[in-house]
Structure 1
Amino acid sequence: METDVLVVGAGPVGLALACALRQHGVSVRVIDKAEGPATTSRANFVHARGSEVLDRLDALGDLPEESVRAMTITSYAGDRPMMKIRFGDPGLGTAAAPMVISQARVEARLRERLAGLGRQPEWDKRLTALGQDTAGVTAALADGSTVRAGWLVGCDGSASAVRRLAGIRFPGVKVSERFLLVDGRLDPELDRSGTSGWTHPDGVLGAMPMPGDQWRLLAYDATFRDDKPGEEQIAERMRRILPERTGLTGLRLHDVTWASLFSVHRRLADTYRDGRILLAGDAAHVHAPFGGQGMLTGLGDAENLAWKLALVVQGLAAERLLDTYQAERRPLATQVLRGSTAATKVNIAGSPLGRFLRDQVLMRVFNQAWIQRWTTYTTSQLWVSYRRGPLGGRGRKPRPGDRIGDLACERPGGSRTRLHAELRGKWAVLGDQAAFEAARQRLGDQVVSLRAAGPASGLAMLVRPDAHLACKGGPAELARWLDGALG
């Protein structure tokens, strides 16, 4: 084999997967059909769960300082404020805050981390054919070369060549909800402490502050029928509807740096795995942009898959462990798909009844403090649990499959640390030496011993590299869980 894993797609999901595999000591190559890295992107918000994943990859770096701390959304009807939602700490033990930052900057930080792990994405490498056997996958590229890998993961977006060549169905719909996206400056400046949104009979319009003095404008525009407009056409359209929908007649858009038009897709792959070929991110699921769940869900896919694939590659687990990847992640994608679809329908309500329910009923409901806490909690994805999956379990909380917060811990020598900082390509045992030894017999040096700060519970906890509880109990319970999960 030329490499253990070939990752197709150098977006955030492919780069995160490659970084995680390298943390686990797996050889990897990353190829992408583009000529070079993207400098602009549609996604520009990373919720708390995504920041946690980047932190565990040691790829967070100075992104929080570079990001905009704009954690409110204020909705207006003309110049009248209707609703203000505040995104805060969901109280789930995370040291990684949500960020308003371009996906392009996240990708750049992931490339830096991957370079530190000894790998670089390979650009202008277009996949043209795939073949697999019981030992590996052969990928043919447009330049005439081939790559032989043990496993191949398609992280190449909604138009995934991997998915198409593997013959995996991608049912769903491409709907007529069309949105304009424009990056530029506004004169006069709006309030940069948060996102502003305006309801209008012709469609919603939102303005989100971006790093520097840039603004990201998004507008639903069903009447803009040009299928392939240029950036200047899109920008001109936004300039025209901006004062109309905001009611701010003096508001002007200038110095546009990027403009795009997109239609919403809602699709979910029938399966995330075909033999030695797997899918992650938008290659497996695409949905509406409301809620900022796309990149977030893809990063979670990458982290979940990485530790499982690493164990299989290293001969520490049977291939059936990979079936738990789809079992744990696909139900979440289904839930995200439903939620983003509902949010889209609310935001683009066109009928008088729909607008009344949105503007007079839902706006008032969302002004309630408990609803805002629920919104922060829901969009963060820190609530995600796999307790109902094949690796989950019952019992007292936390249950097997539940996320474990970023606990304050101590290493065996007494030095202080954080749980999530120790999970960078590692498992963790919080408990006594006997429990640690039981895990180390099966995981080798991929497991670290820690003690949670505070009173001991009497039960050891085995925590997965993605910060979810594997099991708890004594040495025998840990050994039994690992034998069953790893096969």
Structure 2
Amino acid sequence: METDVLVIGAGPTGLALGVDLARRGVAALVVERADGLFPGSRGKGLQPRTMEVFDDLGVLGAIRAAGGTYPVGMVWRDGERLGEHHMFDPVEPDESAPYNEPWMVPQWRTQEILHARLTELGGRVAFGLEVTGLDQDGSGVRARCADGTEITARYAVAADGGRSAVRRAVGIGMTGRTVDPRPTLVADVRITGLDRANWHLFPAADGEDGFLAVCPLAGTEEFQVAARFGEDEEVDVSPDGVRKAVAARSHLSPEQITEVRWASDFRPREALADRFRAGRVFLAGDAAHVHSPAGGQGLNTSVQDAYNLGWKLGAVLSGAADPELLDTYGEERRPVAAEMLGLSGGVHRGEIRRGEATTQLGLGYRASSLSRDGRDPSEGPLRAGDRAPDATVAGVRLFDAFRGPHWTLLALDAEPPALPPAVRVVRGPARPAYGAGLFLVRPDGYVGWAGGPGAAVPADYPGRVGLG
């Protein structure tokens, strides 16, 4: 089997990367060791920045139809409602950021939507192929699978989870620590006797070890159960074990858990790979960084790894950019992952509130070697490396103009310089989020170059990023 890019793992990271590569016409194969997509709800929260990514990838409509907003928490004690608990500080929407709150979609459904989009674009997932070994040289990668299949590719991306076999095979270390030594049971269940208008919270009477949360999963008839255990307790993930855990922590009886569809257990930990690249092999998602689930940062950071890497692989494989462009993947994404690990840990410890801090809208790449800024600060607030905000310019919504695998030039109260015809140009008056000037927006929605009116794009920049 031969392909240009081998993506190992069909979770949200691998599927998002597959979609991005497919829409660029890149020959890519996604392989997954399981016989089908992941069946559980695990990463159920999509942050506003990820909603913007999904808008660009063409799946936002399906994502919005499949989910809903998070319900208000309801605290219970001894079968009585004690009152509401608001888990998220409100974030007001504005023109520059139209998605202002996390959107709940069970992970299994997000993956179904991404898989359907990948198939629509002509891509595919090969299920039942477990990569067990990998070799590489200056021209490509050869992956060996458990069933004897060999796959050759020009590049490979390990999106095979926190216990990544590929990460170990290429010798990249991972530094981490346990965030909480107490194990947690998580399960998708059907329950009678609880309303679906609230996220039901059952605090433990003797500390935090017996905490239970039961959250209705938007777009389904199921609830996600999360039950915390003591450090030395065994977690029983069988259907009977799930029923007993819920009954022991709430006023519900075991019989009210009518179905257990999926269950797992984990100890919250955080870890970061020492580097995100070894030769022609890249790490993305949990293979590169493992988060506490608090704050809903893991899946979102992972999808944005794929979004950063996809356009760079496309530019290099087409011959438009030199392979050195791929060095900027780790340069840009590893600091972001480290920052998000700190944020997740802060939320887990109760030091940081969910809300504006967890939307991921403020993340950017100002320190990146790809960010070139020639504007005077008096000309406006935006800088190269910042996320390009939404706005309406001369009747054109900018997120509509950005959508697709191209670069976009915004000329606001400025004359556009000469650029290759593949760059989409939007001209109009200055907008508050931008100010006046010229903004060359990358395919992943960040400002690559910014200049004042009349400025010229640096001569080496188009070749550096694959504009020709």
Residues 98-119 of structure 1: CA deviation (Å, up to 9, x unaligned): 3111111111111111111111
Name the residue aligned to 2:424: 448
Residues 411-464 of structure 1: CA deviation (Å, up to 9, x unaligned): xxxx74443553321111112899766331xxx63x212235766965221001
Instruction: Please give the secondary structure, in 2, of the residue aligned with 1:61.
Output: helix
Contact 1:61 1:109 in 2 (8 A): no
1:436/1:228 CA distance change after superposition, 3 Å: farther
Name the residue aligned to 1:147: 151
Q: Does 1:180 align with 2:182?
A: no
Q: Does 1:424 align with 2:404?
A: yes
Unaligned runs of 5+ in 2: none
Instruction: Please give the secondary structure, in 2, of the residue aligned with 1:425.
Output: coil
Contact 1:324 1:390 in 2 (8 A): yes
Question: Separation in 1 of the partners of 2:288 and 2:254?
Answer: 44
**Aligned pairs, number:** 449
The one-letter amino acid of 1:464's match is R
Name the residue aligned to 1:168: 172
Shift of 1:237: 1.8
1:478/1:377 CA distance change after superposition, 3 Å: farther
Residues 349-372 of structure 1: CA deviation (Å, up to 9, x unaligned): xxxxxxxxxxxxx8xxx9xxxx7x
The one-letter amino acid of 1:378's match is A
Moved more, 309-318 or 430-439: 430-439
Question: Separation in 2 of the partners of 1:281 and 1:271?
Answer: 13
The one-letter amino acid of 1:262's match is F
Unaligned runs of 5+ in 1: 347-361
The one-letter amino acid of 1:242's match is S
Question: Separation in 2 of the partners of 1:202 and 1:385?
Answer: 36
Q: Please point out which of 190, 214, 218 is paired with 2:222.
A: 214
Name the residue aligned to 1:9: 9
TM-score normalised by length of structure 2? 0.87
Contact 2:384 2:447 in 1 (8 A): yes
Moved more, 325-334 or 457-466: 457-466
1:105/1:453 CA distance change after superposition, 3 Å: farther
Moved more, 1-10 or 108-117: 1-10
Shift of 1:197: 2.9
Shift of 1:295: 0.6
The one-letter amino acid of 1:388's match is A
1:186/1:7 CA distance change after superposition, 3 Å: same
Q: Does 1:55 align with 2:31?
A: no
Instruction: Please give the secondary structure, in 2, of the residue aligned with 1:439.
Output: coil
1:11/1:435 CA distance change after superposition, 3 Å: farther
Q: Please point out which of 403, 406, 423 is paired with 2:387.
A: 403
Name the residue aligned to 2:249: 241
Shift of 1:393: 5.0
Contact 1:188 1:251 in 2 (8 A): no
Name the residue aligned to 1:350: none
Question: Separation in 1 of the partners of 2:428 and 2:130?
Answer: 48
Shift of 1:30: 0.7
Contact 1:392 1:470 in 2 (8 A): yes
The one-letter amino acid of 2:425's match is S
Q: Please point out which of 264, 274, 277 is paired with 2:278.
A: 274
Question: Separation in 2 of the partners of 1:458 and 1:381?
Answer: 25
Question: Separation in 1 of the partners of 2:399 and 2:68?
Answer: 27
Aligned residues: percent identity? 32
1:260/1:320 CA distance change after superposition, 3 Å: same
Question: Separation in 1 of the partners of 2:347 and 2:419?
Answer: 44
Question: Separation in 2 of the partners of 1:167 and 1:126?
Answer: 18
Q: Does 1:476 align with 2:456?
A: yes
Name the residue aligned to 2:292: 288
Question: Separation in 1 of the partners of 2:255 and 2:97?
Answer: 39
Contact 1:235 1:259 in 2 (8 A): no
Shift of 1:227: 5.8
Q: Does 1:232 align with 2:240?
A: yes
The one-letter amino acid of 2:336's match is L
Q: Please point out which of 259, 282, 307 is paired with 2:311.
A: 307
Shift of 1:73: 4.2
Contact 1:131 1:139 in 2 (8 A): yes
The one-letter amino acid of 1:292's match is G
1:312/1:155 CA distance change after superposition, 3 Å: same
Contact 1:182 1:238 in 2 (8 A): no
Name the residue aligned to 1:26: 26
Contact 2:185 2:237 in 1 (8 A): no
1:312/1:250 CA distance change after superposition, 3 Å: closer
Equivalent positions of 1:238-387 (< 5 A) are 238-243=246-251, 252-346=256-350, 375-387=354-366
The root-mean-square deviation of aligned C-alpha atoms, in Å, is 3.0
